């Protein structure tokens, strides 16, 4: 399929694809096995200017839209969504500053993220606040010229590895969602520590830890935007980042399809390569339809969001749900095509199937995405 990419966009695809094929694929199994953070690969990506894609030009970035970051993440996801998650989490961490940060915060933090010199992370989830994002318990209280933060964030991607953390805390519990505010935390702030690295089913190259705040003190001007705007900033951040998760899904599904076709062409049973049997061909055909339809929806949503940044929720949730459900199905079917070999870690589809599951869970479960789409439909049809 031809998606009519500009010369610049094709260049992004080529650069990301080269890193995926040459730097990530040869080491992805080892990173997974050792639960190893892919610092060397992220450094290669920084050298190739991929970190700057969604950061505005005035802060050292490339000023790309959702579409440009989407096509880069798709290529990285084709090789390994563990590495893709560690990479994408930087943008999730940077979006709150881009969306609501003061000029000073933007100048201070965005150039180093754009250069890949400092990694970023996003702190929303807590033990009792997952889908119910406004149920957070972490608090921030102003004491003179400092905010004092107390609480624990859970399952934070890039935890411990990142230098810059955008974190939401309640500044006025009585006001519910309207009483939350966002802050920039730095690794090394007094009272800020990390829990141990979580052991996960998949995406093991990415680091996941708790963020622990015990009377953590930060300067007053580290608040992002006005007090009370934190929840809206979080919602806008997730609207901005979810197409990136869809892109990791399309990439993973493409990678799984590639492996399944390659295997079906060389695996001989009953005297013929198994790709010559209709039962296998139909599975591969359905996988290919899934990948291409997910990509078409993702590209269209990403282009729509780029042109209509104030109306991104529904498009963002739609591509996230669809592409990640496709990724799970295609990865599962790829394991089936490879049969017993597919179940062994010797072939990459075993890891792809383990990895795919998180796509349906993180950055808002696919059930929450359907809620968002349903609520938008309700609003549209009430006008």
In angstroms, the CA 185 to CA 273 distance is 56
* Tokens standing for residue 38: 């892919």
- Taking the complex as a whole, the smallest distance from the CB of residue 216 to ligand COS amounts, in Å, to 20
Indicate the residue among 115 and 235 with the shorter CB distance to ligand COS: 235
Q: Which of 146, 363, 376, 380 is catalytic?
A: 363
Give the nearest distance from C-beta 199 to ligand COS in angstroms. Answer: 19
Number of other residues whose CB lies within 10 A of the CB of residue 339? 13
- Which residue is closest to ligand COS by CB? 364
Burial of 63: CB neighbours in 10 Å, binned 0-12, 13-18, 19+? middle
Q: What is the dihedral of CA 333, 323, 303, 25, to 10 degrees?
A: -60
Quick check: 153 and 138 in contact, CB under 8 A? yes
Which residue ranges make up the site for ligand COS (CB under 6 A)?
122, 124-125, 131, 133-134, 177-178, 231-232, 235-236, 238-239, 313, 362-364, 368, 371-372
Nearest to ligand COS of 125, 207 (CB atom): 125
Q: Is 235 exposed, middle or buried (0-12, 13-18, 19+ CB in 10 A)?
A: middle
Please give the structure tokens belonging to residue 180: 């939350």
Minimum distance from residue 376 beta carbon to ligand COS (Å): 9
Residue with Cβ nearer ligand COS (260 or 327)? 327
Distances (CA, A) of 147 to 131, 151, 171, 234, 294: 27, 13, 10, 19, 44
Cα-to-chain-centroid distance, residue 170: 25
Kindly state the smallest distance separating residue 101's Cβ from ligand COS, in Å.
Answer: 17
**Least distance to ligand COS, CB of residue 265, Å:** 39
Q: Measured from the CB atom, is 163 or 239 closer to ligand COS?
A: 239
Q: Which of 89, 176, 166, 192 is nearest to 136 (CA)?
A: 176
Nearest residue (CB) to ligand COS, 88 versus 274: 88
d(CA 185, CA 121): 10
Nearer to ligand COS (CB atom), residue 162 or residue 335: 162
In the complex, the smallest distance separating the C-beta of residue 122 from ligand COS, rounded to whole angstroms, is 6
Per-residue tokens: 257: 């399809």
Active site residue 363: yes
Q: Which residues are catalytic?
A: 363
């Amino acid at each position: 399929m031809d998606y009519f990419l500009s010369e610049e966009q094709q260049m992004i695809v080529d650069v990301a694809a080269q890193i995926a094929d040459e730097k990530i694929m040869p080491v992805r199994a080892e990173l997974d096995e050792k639960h190893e953070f892919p610092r060397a690969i992220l450094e290669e990506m920084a050298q190739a200017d991929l970190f700057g894609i969604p950061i505005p030009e005035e802060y050292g970035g490339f000023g790309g839209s959702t579409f440009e970051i989407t096509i880069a993440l798709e290529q990285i996801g084709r090789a390994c969504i563990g590495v893709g998650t560690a990479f994408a989490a930087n943008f999730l961490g940077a979006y709150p500053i881009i969306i609501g940060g003061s000029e000073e915060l933007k100048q201070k933090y965005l150039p180093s993220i754009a250069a890949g010199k400092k990694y970023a992370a996003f702190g929303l989830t807590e033990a009792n606040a997952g889908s119910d994002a406004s149920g957070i318990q972490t608090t921030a209280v102003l004491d003179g010229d400092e905010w004092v933060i107390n609480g624990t964030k859970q399952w934070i991607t890039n935890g411990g590895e990142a230098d810059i953390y955008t974190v939401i805390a309640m500044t006025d519990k009585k006001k519910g969602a309207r009483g939350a505010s966002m802050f920039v935390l730095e690794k090394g702030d007094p009272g800020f520590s990390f829990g141990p690295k979580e052991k996960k089913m998949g995406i093991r190259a990415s680091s996941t830890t708790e963020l622990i705040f015990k009377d953590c003190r930060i300067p007053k001007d580290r608040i992002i935007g006005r007090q009370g705007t934190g929840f809206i900033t979080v919602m806008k951040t997730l609207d901005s980042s979810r197409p990136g998760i869809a892109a990791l899904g399309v990439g993973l599904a493409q990678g799984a399809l590639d492996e399944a076709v390659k295997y079906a062409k060389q695996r001989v049973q009953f005297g013929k390569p198994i790709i010559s049997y209709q039962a296998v061909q139909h599975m591969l055909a359905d996988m290919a339809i899934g990948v291409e339809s997910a990509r078409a929806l993702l590209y269209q949503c990403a282009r729509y969001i780029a042109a209509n940044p104030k109306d991104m929720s529904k498009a963002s949730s739609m591509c996230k749900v669809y592409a990640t459900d496709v990724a799970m199905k295609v990865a599962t079917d790829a394991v089936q095509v490879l049969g017993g070999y597919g179940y062994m870690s010797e072939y990459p589809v075993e890891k792809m199937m383990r990895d795919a599951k998180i796509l349906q869970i993180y950055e808002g479960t696919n059930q929450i995405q359907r809620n968002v789409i349903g609520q938008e439909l309700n609003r549209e049809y009430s006008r």
